Amino acid sequence: MADPHEQPTDTGDSTHDEALADAAPASPGKKRNIRIVLIAIAAVVLIGGLLWFIQYRSVGRFMQSTDDAYIQADAVIVAPKVAGYVERVFVDDNQPVRAGQPLLQIDPGDYRSRAEQFEAQIAVAEANAEGVRAQIREQEAAIDRAQAELATARSRAAFANAEVARYRPLAASGAESRQRLAQLESDARQANAQVAGAEAALTSARRRVGTLNAQVAQALSQGKSARAQLASAQSDVGSTLIRASIDGRIGDKTVRVGQYLQPATRTMSIVPTSKLYVVANFKETQLGLMRVGQPVRLEVDALPGVEIHGRVQSISPGTGAQFSVLPPQNATGNFTKIVQRVPVRIAIDAGPETLKLLVPGMSVSPTVDTRAARDARERIKKEQERYNEQRGHD
């Protein structure tokens, strides 16, 4: 049986009361709070947008950045000048080296033998020259003797000719016999012939000196040639020891002891880690205000959160496509305009500890501050207008 004192539950009336409560209008105070929040949000958005616009107009639009940039270095390829077997390798992979430090040694035995051969040739040439000089000294003595003999012959010829001249009138007058005159004339002819022979001997002796001098010059030329070959051989001996040409670190080392190397064979590279720079490929539309010397902010992917400073060092005289192996020929076939990129070299201004962590090939995101050239477009525009006016007047 039901309890007479129990209150009946009317679920339908309760639901109806809640619906009426929800349909009742909000209080004026609550509407005012919502309106204030919306106005505040709108004000914050408006102020933020205004600050962003001011910052963009004064600073942001002058910041040119790209992610097509990489660290580079002017690495030196180490290659031998001479051929031979590798005798020793003095460095390891990634080892720091100083300029002038030995890197590898090629067996110098063959080149030293060649140098010794040329030294022997020089000695032979010098001995030949000295021997010919001795002959010249002997010939000079022979010339003196020939000159003395010539003087004697001339003296005899003069006496004989004088006797003939003295006896000829006597023989004509009959005071002397013609036989005596004939004898004197024969003696005079012999004396004159002896003079001619002495003169010829003297001439031959003098010419012999010229021949010997030519032999000396030939020996000296042979010695000079041998000295040049010796210098080349000594240079080859020195080239068997390959030294570092710059400071840096060893990379890409492929040489091994016992390996036979040909001239110009690539053995390793030296990377000058203290002279790193960045090559950034900016779009051509970003270069209007870019100038050498402008400051750059560098963000290296390997060092997140570390800001490195730099400056624009140089701008390439052509786009990257122009310096490719096969430059594009846009005058052929269909054409689609593509924004070109121009390499820009950026010097890195960082401390030694930071430079130790940077290696060529790392990705960089540079941002160039071009505000220093903000008025460049107007100056260029005015200059071109003046130039056009002058051309028009001409």
Write down all domains in the chain, each with its CATH number in brackets: 62-73+271-389 (2.40.30.170), 80-107+241-266 (2.40.50.100), 109-236 (1.10.287.620)
Q: Which of 374, 175, 197, 181 has its CA nearest to residue 288?
A: 374
Q: Which of 75, 365, 383, 88 has its CA nearest to residue 248?
A: 75
Residue 123 CA to residue 105 CA, distance in Å, equals: 30
- Assess whether pLDDT exceeds 70 at residue 26: no
Q: Which residues contact 159 (CB under 8 A, 6 or more apart)?
A: 191
Strand partners, 72: 277
pLDDT in tens, 106-123: 999 999 999 999 999 999
Identity of residue 83: A
The three-class DSSP label of residue 323 is helix
User: What's CA 269's distance to the chain center, in Å?
Assistant: 15
Residue 69 CA to residue 278 CA, distance in Å, equals: 7
CB–CB of 242/90 below 8 Å?
A: no
User: Which of 92-106, 128-142, 353-367 is predicted least confidently?
Assistant: 128-142
Mean pLDDT over 189-197 rounds to: 84
Q: Which residues contact 208 (CB under 8 A, 6 or more apart)?
A: 139, 142
Alpha helix (H) residue ranges in the chain: 11-23, 28-58, 109-173, 178-239, 352-357, 376-393
The tokens for 34 are 């919502």
Sheet holding 341-349, edge to edge: 63-65, 364-369, 295-300, 307-315, 341-349, 277-283, 69-72
- Assess whether pLDDT exceeds 80 at residue 22: no
Q: Which residues contact 154 (CB under 8 A, 6 or more apart)?
A: 195, 198
3-class secondary structure for 140-168? HHHHHHHHHHHHHHHHHHHHHHHHHHHHH
pLDDT in tens, 212-243: 888 889 988 999 999 999 999 999 999 999 99
Count the neighbouring beta carbons within 10 Å of the beta carbon of residue 228. 11
Confidence label for 59 from pLDDT (cuts 50, 70 and 90): low
Residue 118 CA to residue 231 CA, distance in Å, equals: 9
Confidence label for 174 from pLDDT (cuts 50, 70 and 90): low
- What confidence score (pLDDT) does residue 329 get? 76
- What confidence score (pLDDT) does residue 240 get? 95
pLDDT in tens, 289-309: 899 999 999 999 999 989 899
CB–CB of 342/320 below 8 Å?
A: yes
